């Protein structure tokens, strides 16, 4: 579709040229990475090179990277009922922040009665005092706090959460899917025990994710059983082409990160100023640290579904929040957790930028918003 502007990068990203080249090259090879012949060894080399690239990017050891089919599967693998905490005692419950991705809120493989939610503040930051209270009121826990929220872009205090959780004898899982390639992330510096990632959020292909497990962590139970792939932690022949492309995307994203983050911050701030100038628009969580590329806004009387359709008709791709609801425009559970009522939660629109977003794209989006704000909201 010509002349369209894509501002839904938090949902998925275009395939980076480097990732495309790596994928095409891998598809030209035929080996199974578990085979011992030359073709198999070549496929294994591609997988291990990507594993080393991702590990180096986030401060992990290659042997602790587990490739999966998606970020959702990586989250399910991380939320394992067999994990053991700092004292070797099995974790007996799961604490998740109320703004987590649906795949984390679902609790992985832990039963619903063992799952509790951690409150967040009006700005969308996890309430660490509530986390402390929950940890003190029960047995060792597995805690899941995302690095950056996919709707508001808020950065979470994961390093402080890790310290609190460790002191309580628990484990911390960090969903870093939106963080990778947008901000610096180091699993060791944070002190997380598990971290999850997804290729298609950073310019890799859909259908590839990864879980990183801290050195020495015990009790991780596979979701998929069968062969001994991924050191017995995830059965099934590895997606060689997708994994090779994931590695290439990680390398390209990390190389461009400093300049991309600076440029996107400038464009984001310009976009927000333009949105505020029309129809009394407000930006959520604009007073706290956020991703450089994410804007979640609303205006009095705005309906997200109408706005998303309106932007689309103007040639602008935006969203109402998470893209994991079968295409349905639903009230934001993130805003509800932040204390906003249903009317506000139903009127939030997200615009997210990427490495190829240009000033002209921001101009188009603001032109579309001026048209929408002066018609839909005043009709």
pLDDT at 310: 95
What is the C-alpha R_g of the chain? 21
Say yes or no: 91 and 210 in one domain: yes
Token output for 179: 């963080």
Show which of 203, 234, 251 is a domain's final residue. 251
**Tokens 């604490």, residue?**
95
Query: How many structural domains comprise the chain?
Result: 2
Same domain, residue pair 186 and 69: yes
Q: Which residues make beta-bridge pairs with 84?
A: 90
pTM of structure: 0.95
Whether 267 and 239 share a structural domain: no
**Cβ(144)–Cβ(4) below 8 Å:** no
| CA atoms of 270 and 241, how far apart (whole Å) | 38
Q: Which domain holds residue 343?
A: 5-14+257-378
Looking at the structure, tell me whether residues 186 and 235 fall in a common domain. Answer: yes
One domain for residues 222 and 274: no
274, 295 in Cβ contact below 8 A? Answer: no
pLDDT score at 67? 98
Name the phi and psi angles at 2, rounded to 5: -70, 155
pLDDT for 243: 98
User: Where is the domain boundary, 251, 269, 294?
Assistant: 251
Q: Helices 38-58 & 240-276, crossing angle to 10 degrees?
A: 30
Catalytic residue from among 24, 133, 277, 324: 324
Which residues fall within 8 angstroms of residue 300, CB to CB, at 6 or more apart? 279, 280, 377
Q: Do 190 and 134 have their domain in common?
A: yes
pLDDT value of residue 105 = 94
Q: What is the pLDDT of residues 238-293, one digit of tens each?
A: 999 999 999 999 999 999 999 999 999 999 999 999 999 998 899 999 999 999 99
> Token pair 């998929």 is at which residue?
224
Residues 112 and 219 in one domain: yes
DSSP state letter for 377 = G
The residues near 280 (Cβ < 8 Å, ≥ 6 apart) are 299, 300
**Residues 225, 263 within the same domain:** no
324 is catalytic: yes
**205 shares a domain with 129:** yes
Residues 86 and 189 occupy one common structural domain: yes
User: What CATH number should be reported for the domain holding residue 297?
Assistant: 3.90.1150.10
pLDDT at 378: 57
Stretches in the chain below the pLDDT threshold 70? 1-2, 321-330, 376-379
C-alpha–C-alpha distance, residues 248 and 234, integer Å:
22
Q: Catalogue the E-assigned strands of 69-112.
A: 93-97
Q: Six-digit token pair at 51?
A: 């594993």
In this structure, the answer to whether residues 24 and 154 fall within a common structural domain is yes
| Domain's final residue, options 251, 266, 287 | 251
Contact partners, residue 325, CB within 8 Å, separation at least 6: 102
- CATH number assigned to the domain comprising residue 29: 3.40.640.10
Tokens read off for 215: 């050195």
What is the pLDDT at residue 227?
86
Q: Are residues 58 and 156 in the same domain?
A: yes
Helix (H) or strand (E) holding 88: none
């Amino acid at each position: 579709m010509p002349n369209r502007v894509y501002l839904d990068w938090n949902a998925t990203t275009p395939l980076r040229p480097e990732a495309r080249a790596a994928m095409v090259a891998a598809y030209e090879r035929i080996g199974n990475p578990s085979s011992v012949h030359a073709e198999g060894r070549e496929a294994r080399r591609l997988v291990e090179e990507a594993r080393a690239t991702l590990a180096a990017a986030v401060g992990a050891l290659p042997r602790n990277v587990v490739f999966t089919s998606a970020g959702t599967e990586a989250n399910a693998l991380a939320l394992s009922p067999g994990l053991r905490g700092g004292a070797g005692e099995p974790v007996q419950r799961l604490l998740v922040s109320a703004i987590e991705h649906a795949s984390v809120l679902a609790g992985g493989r832990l039963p619903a009665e063992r799952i509790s939610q951690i409150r967040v503040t009006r700005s969308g930051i996890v309430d660490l005092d509530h986390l402390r209270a929950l940890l003190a009121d029960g047995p060792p826990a597995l805690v899941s706090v995302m690095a950056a929220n996919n709707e508001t872009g808020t950065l979470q205090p994961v390093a402080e959460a890790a310290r609190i959780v460790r002191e309580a004898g628990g484990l911390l899982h960090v969903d870093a899917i939106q963080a990778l390639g947008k901000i610096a992330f180091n699993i060791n510096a944070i002190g997380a025990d598990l971290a999850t990632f997804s290729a298609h959020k950073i310019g890799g292909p859909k259908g590839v994710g990864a879980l990183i497990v801290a050195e020495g962590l015990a009790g991780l139970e596979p979701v998929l059983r069968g062969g001994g792939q991924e050191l017995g932690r995830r059965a099934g022949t590895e997606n060689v082409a997708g994994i090779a492309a994931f590695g290439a995307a990680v390398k390209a994203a990390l190389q461009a990160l400093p300049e991309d983050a600076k440029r996107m911050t400038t464009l984001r701030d310009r976009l927000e100023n333009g949105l505020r100038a029309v129809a009394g628009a407000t930006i959520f969580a604009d007073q706290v640290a956020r991703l450089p590329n994410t804007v979640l806004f609303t205006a009095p009387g705005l309906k997200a579904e109408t706005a998303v359709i309106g932007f689309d008709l103007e040639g602008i791709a935006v969203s109402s929040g998470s893209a994991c609801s079968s295409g349905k425009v639903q009230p934001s559970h993130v805003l509800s957790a932040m204390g906003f009522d249903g009317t506000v939660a139903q009127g939030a629109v997200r615009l997210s930028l990427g490495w190829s977003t240009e000033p002209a794209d921001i101009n188009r989006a603001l032109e579309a918003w001026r048209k929408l704000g002066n018609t839909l909201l005043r009709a």
